[in-house]
A and B are shown apart, each in its own frame.
Chain A
Amino acid sequence: MNIFAAIGRVVLAFLATTGRLAIFTAEGVSHTLRPPIYWKLIVQQILRIGYFSLPVVGLTAFFTGAVLCLQIYIGGNRFGSEAIVPQIVVLGITRELGPVIAGLMVAGRVSAAIAAEIGTMRVTEQIDALTTLSTNPVKYLVTPRLIAALISMPILVAIADAIGVFGGYIVATQSLNFNGAVYLKNTHDYVTNGDVQSGLIKAAVFGFIIALMGCYNGFNSKGGAQGVGAATTNAVVSASILILAANYILTSVFFTK
């Protein structure tokens, strides 16, 4: 009996959370089409989410491309196919590692910041204050962040793709004795629009997940400093897991016929 009760509680809690999240998402998205639209806030958030994430995303992309190049070279060496390095690097970066690594880094940086900011606004009653000042808090806080993340992430990932390929190129030409021109020609000949596009679509989905998890957890934080801390942790963890799960689903949709 008790086992059933315990399982039932967990299932009910899960369903309740899913429902709340769905309603929250629907409200946040519906405000993208209903005026007034806070353009200034959207630009401000693009700056925060996109522009200020450039250094961290650029550095991780560079080293990811570099290490990918090295591993494929070492692995390919075992059966004499080192020449395939540029093709594999560009596919790996544009299809998977660019969006996923950038997504996870931005999840750590931006989801946490959003959850901490909105969570603090919740516990200091600033969100209630918005309501009393005839301003819908979801429209003012959530919608601009969703739009900004949706716009910023594909741009960030496009840049990360280029830097990742560049990282591979540097390692290949500087320590693995590849000819630079041949490396670039192989990269260029092999990559297709579809490879890059699939990565950018993933990026947009990841951006939405990142902003949504930050906002949802911040909005529903309870208590004082501890509540905000828990909301921040939950935002990063749930955003990261959802990104990896969504990545699998999107890959299987794009590439399995």
Chain B
Amino acid sequence: MMAMNGTAKIELRGVKKRFGPKTVLDGIDLTVNAGDSLVIIGGSGSGKSVTIKCVLGILHPDAGTIIVDGEEVTRLSGRRRDAFLAKFGMLFQGGALFDSLPVWENVAFGLIQGRGISRAQAQRVALEKLAKVGLGPEVADLSPAELSGGMQKRVGLARAIASDPQIIFFDEPTTGLDPIMADVINHLIASTVRELGVTAVSITHDMASARKISNRIAMLYKGKIIWEGATKDVDNSGNPYVEQFIHGSAEGPIKMEVRR
């Protein structure tokens, strides 16, 4: 399944979302082309997670349109929503593994519940996907609570790719990991995206990770995309906000809002 580069896979137009009096997304315009690996950077609470959850339909935007594969998706329901969600895989920040199920059933969950594949066959696929993320069959019967943080992320990644998605979302893939494990996960994400030919959207505030896994970067600030460009251009963006963020400096146009 090789993606065609250059055609728009995901398009957000004027997406707005408010929680009570707080405006989180204030008109997001963003296009992700097929085969791209886009990283959305931005400070904590800048609306990165909300953006992804709006695309998935977990949250409903107050205004604006979201188009995936040429289809408006903000008001999908029933079978069409199931078909739409089947295109996606997602790696959650904390892994979000189901602690009542063993590792292999976590990986096979979308296959067994979502697609009705037999358990035996789903288990074979699960072991295959676990091997892809560098985990042997010995972890398959463990419970997620018995795994280290890095291993949980790998299982989460295996679950995200288990049903061969066209689009994968990575939510803070390296948060909470030591630098070496973070690098291992970065390599894993980069190679997975390359090998599967998927479209990837990641959100992170870890610049080392962003550089490694992306070919495009967009920066989110106060609910708007304030810069977007190729990853190699991020050091010459000429945008003071981006400059401050990638150098991790307290001095600059972005003032930390103490009151949240």
Contacts and interface: CB of A to CB of B under 8 A. Distances in A.
Interface of A: 36, 121, 124-126, 128-129, 131-135, 140
B34 to A, nearest CB: 20
A134 B86 contact: yes
Contact of A129 (B82, B98, B115, B163): B98
A124 B56 contact: no
A134 B82 contact: yes
21 contacts: A36-B116, A124-B94, A126-B96, A128-B53, A128-B56, A128-B58, A129-B92, A131-B58, A131-B85, A132-B56, A132-B90, A133-B110, A133-B113, A133-B114, A133-B159, A133-B163, A134-B110, A134-B113, A134-B114, A134-B163, A135-B110
B109 interface: yes
A132 B89 CA distance: 7
Contact of A128 (B92, B116, B163): B92
Contacts of A135: 109-110, 113-114
Interface residues of B, number: 25
* Residue among A124, A128, A134 with max Cβ neighbours from chain B (10 Å): A134
Given A126-B98, A128-B58, A134 B115 contact: yes
B5 to A, nearest CB: 25
B170 to A, nearest CB: 12
Interface string B46-66: 000000010011100000000
Contacts of A124: 94, 96
Contacts of B56: 128, 131-132
B88 interface: yes
Pairs of residues from A and B, 6 with the lowest C-beta to C-beta distance, nearest first? A134-B114, A133-B110, A129-B96, A125-B96, A132-B90, A135-B113
A162 B53 CA distance: 52
B192 interface: no
A137 to B, nearest CB: 10
A135 B53 CA distance: 16
A131 B90 CA distance: 10
Contacts of A140: 113
A129 B90 contact: yes
A131 B114 CA distance: 10
Contacts of B89: 132
B85 A132 contact: yes
* Residue among A125, A133, A135 with max Cβ neighbours from chain B (10 Å): A133
B80 to A, nearest CB: 12
A168 B129 CA distance: 61
Contact of A132 (B88, B94, B115, B116): B88
A218 to B, nearest CB: 14
B31 to A, nearest CB: 22
Contacts of B53: 128
B93 interface: yes
B96 A134 contact: no
Interface string B72-91: 00000000001001101110
Nearest to B110: A133
A135 B116 CA distance: 11
Nearest to A140: B113
A124 B96 CA distance: 6
Contacts of A131: 56-58, 85
Nearest to B59: A128
Given A134-B82, A134-B86, A128 B114 contact: no
A36 B117 CA distance: 13
Given A126-B97, A128-B56, A129-B90, 10 more contacts: A36-B116, A121-B98, A124-B94, A125-B96, A129-B96, A131-B57, A132-B58, A133-B110, A133-B114, A135-B109
